[in-house]
Amino acid sequence: MSSRSGSTGGGGSTGGGSSQGGGAAVPLAVLLRREVASERTASERPELHSGLFSQAKKGEDFTFLKPECERVPGVSSSPFSAFGLFDGHNGNGAAIYTKENLLNNVLSAVPADLNREDWLAALPRALVAAFVKTDKDFQTKARSSGTTVTFVIIDGLVITVASVGDSRCVLQAEGSIYHLSSDHRFDASKEEVDRVTECGGDVGRLNVVGGAEIGPLRCWPGGLCLSRSIGDQDVGEFIVPVPLVKQVKLSTAGGRLIIASDGVWDALSPEVAFNCSRELPPVPAAEQIVKTAVQSKGLRDDTTCIVVDIIVEKNNPCMPHPKKQPGIGVFKICSQEKSSDSSSHSHTDREYTEPDNVEEIFEDGCALLSRRLDSEYPVQNMFKLFICAICQVELKPNQGISVHEDSSQPGSLCRWDGPFLCQSCQEKKEAMEGKRRFTRFIKKQWVK
C-alpha cells in the first residue's frame, strides 16, 4: 500500500500599522528600525515545497505536514511550518496520539508574548517539555505501544529538530550533508546503554538455545532496541522521551530536508538518498527514495519519507546577519571548511552579507530534565513561577517542586530555584532518572 501527497507554503510578511488620534508621535528612528526588522523578516521567509510518500507493511507510520502555522493564533506575522514523522511499534496508539497532540504541547510551553528571536531561543526547551508531557499524558491511557518521533519546525531560515528513536532528519545545503538527528539505538551509543543500566534497566541481546546471543542490543523486559521513545510504558521509565534538539540556520542558498523512518535508513545512506532524488520535486523525490529503499531490501517495515525544499528568492536583497545573542547558545559553523581570504573583504562586506554556510545555533541531547529545563537555558524567564514547566498546570504557592530538588552536584542551583514541577511530573522525572522504582513490568516478547 502506497500513499503520496505534496504541498507548497509561501512566506509570510509583516503588514503596516495604523495611526490612532491622540497618540504620541513615533520617532523616525523607531520607524526606521521597525522597517528594517520587517524587511529582514520578509527576506528570511523562504518558500517551502514538501512531498510525502509511504509504503505500508504494518500501518504504524504516521506523518504530520503543516506548512502554515501561527505561533500566536490569529497573528499572520508569526508564521512557521511543522513536519513530523512518527514510526510506531507494538501498535499505532502512541504514534497517532503524538501526531495529534505534540504541536499543541509545544506551543503551550512557550509564552505567547515572545518576539521571534526569543521564540526561536525558547523552542529547544519547549520541545523537551512537550515531548515529556505527550509521553506522560499518553501513558495515562494504559497503552503499551510506543513511537519514534522526528519533529521539525521551520521558521524562516532557522530549522529546529527534536527527535527520539531511530527515524532521521538530514539536510543537504550547498553540497554538504548535515545530520540533524541521532539514532537512539543501544547499538549506536554506549552512553545510552550505561544510562539505562544505571537506572535499573537490563540491556543485552536475545538469547537462543545454547546461550548464543543474536540481534541488536535490547532493553529487557520488552525487548525494545531504542533507548528513547514516546510511550513504551511496559518497558520501563528509563526509556525516556527527552529528545535530542538541534537548531541550525541556513544561508540564503536554502536547502533540502529528508525526514524518513528506519525503513529508508536501514537500506540507504543519506548520500544515496539525496543522489537518487536529485533534481526531482519533493513528491517524486520522496517516492523515488522509498522505492529505492524497498528495491534494495524489500518491504520489511513501514517505509516513509518526507522531503522539504527550502527555497529563498534569488532577488531578495542580502540583509545584515542578526547579532548572535548570548542567551541562544554557543554558535559554531557546522558546514565543511572552505578556503577564504578574510583580508580581501572589507568590514562592510562582512557585516552586511549572509554567511555562505550553515550555522549551528543550538544542540543538546542530555537526558536530564534538571539541565534541559534549567531557567538559564537557553533563554531566561521562560517558565512562570506558578506553572508546571512540563504539563503547564497551575501551582499553588509552595506546591511546586524545583527541578533541582534532588541535585547534589557541586555548584548546582539550589532546590528553591525554578523552574518548578507539579507532583506527578516530579514523580515522572524521578522514574526517568531511576530514583523511583518502576514496577509495571509486563513481559511481552515483541521487538521493534
Q: Is residue 191, in this structure, part of any structural domain at all?
A: no
Together in a domain, 303 and 388:
no
Q: Is residue 87, in this structure, part of any structural domain at all?
A: yes
Q: Is residue 26, in this structure, part of any structural domain at all?
A: no
Whole-number pLDDT of residue 360: 94
Domain boundary among 332, 363, 394: 363
Q: Is residue 411, in this structure, part of any structural domain at all?
A: yes
Whole-number pLDDT of residue 16: 38
Together in a domain, 148 and 296:
yes
Domain boundary among 300, 331, 363: 363
Compute, in degrees rounded to 10, the torsion defined by CA atoms 374, 133, 195, 334: -60
Q: Is residue 374, in this structure, part of any structural domain at all?
A: no
Q: Taking Cα atoms as reference points, which of 298, 252, 245, 225 lies closest to residue 446? A: 225
Compute, in degrees rounded to 10, the torsion defined by CA atoms 235, 237, 241, 243: -110
Whole-number pLDDT of residue 242: 96
Together in a domain, 414 and 284:
no
Residues contacting residue 392 through CB under 8 Å, at least 6 positions apart: 108, 109, 133
Q: Is residue 279, in this structure, part of any structural domain at all?
A: yes
Together in a domain, 153 and 54:
yes
For the chain, the domain total comes to 2
What's the rounded Cα separation, in Å, for the pair 263 and 24?
Answer: 61
Q: Is residue 140, in this structure, part of any structural domain at all?
A: yes
Query: How do the pLDDT tens digits run along the chain, 448 residues long?
Result: 666 777 665 443 333 333 333 445 556 555 555 555 555 555 568 999 999 999 999 999 999 999 999 887 777 778 999 999 999 999 999 999 999 999 999 999 988 788 899 899 999 999 999 999 999 999 888 678 999 999 999 999 999 999 999 999 999 998 899 999 999 999 989 999 999 988 888 899 988 777 788 888 998 878 899 999 999 888 878 899 999 999 999 999 999 999 999 999 999 999 999 999 999 999 999 999 999 999 998 888 899 999 999 998 753 433 333 333 333 333 344 433 333 333 333 333 333 334 458 999 999 999 988 888 875 544 445 666 678 999 989 888 777 888 876 644 444 445 556 788 999 999 999 888 877 654 433 333 334 4
Identity of the residue numbered 43: S
The domain of 135 spans 40-180+240-313+357-363
Q: Is residue 21, in this structure, part of any structural domain at all?
A: no
Together in a domain, 390 and 262:
no
Together in a domain, 309 and 389:
no
Specify the 3-state DSSP secondary structure of 67: strand
